[in-house]
Amino acid sequence: YILIGLYFAISLAIGLYAGRRSGKGQKDYFLAGGSTPWLLAGTSMVATTFAADTPLAVTGLVRGGGIAANWIWWSFAAGGVLTVFFFARLWRRSGLTTDLEFLELRYGGPQAAFLRGAKALYLGVVLNLLIIGWVNLAMLKIIRVLFPTAPAELWLIGIAGLTALYVMFAGLRGVVAADAFQFIIAMGGSILLAFYADQARPAGETWQSSTLSFWPDIQAADGVALLFTGLLLQWWAAFYPGAEPGGGGYVAQRILASRSERDGLLAALWFNVAH
Q: What is the pLDDT of residues 27-81, one digit of tens each?
A: 888 898 888 999 999 999 999 888 888 888 998 999 888 899 998 888 888 888 8
- Note the pLDDT tens digit of each residue in 75-128: 888 888 889 999 999 999 998 998 899 999 889 889 999 999 999 999 889 988
**Average model confidence (pLDDT) across the chain:** 87
Confidence (pLDDT) at 118: 95
- Note the pLDDT tens digit of each residue in 165-204: 878 888 898 889 889 999 999 999 989 988 998 889 888 8
- Note the pLDDT tens digit of each residue in 148-168: 888 999 989 988 888 888 788
Q: What is the dihedral of CA 234, 121, 53, 171, to 10 degrees?
A: 110
Beta carbons of 275 and 46 less than 8 angstroms apart: yes
Q: Which residue has better confidence, 207 or 129?
A: 129
Q: What is the dihedral of CA 39, 42, 48, 53, to 10 degrees?
A: -100
Beta carbons of 176 and 257 less than 8 angstroms apart: yes
Strands (DSSP E) found in the chain: none
Predicted structure pTM score:
0.88
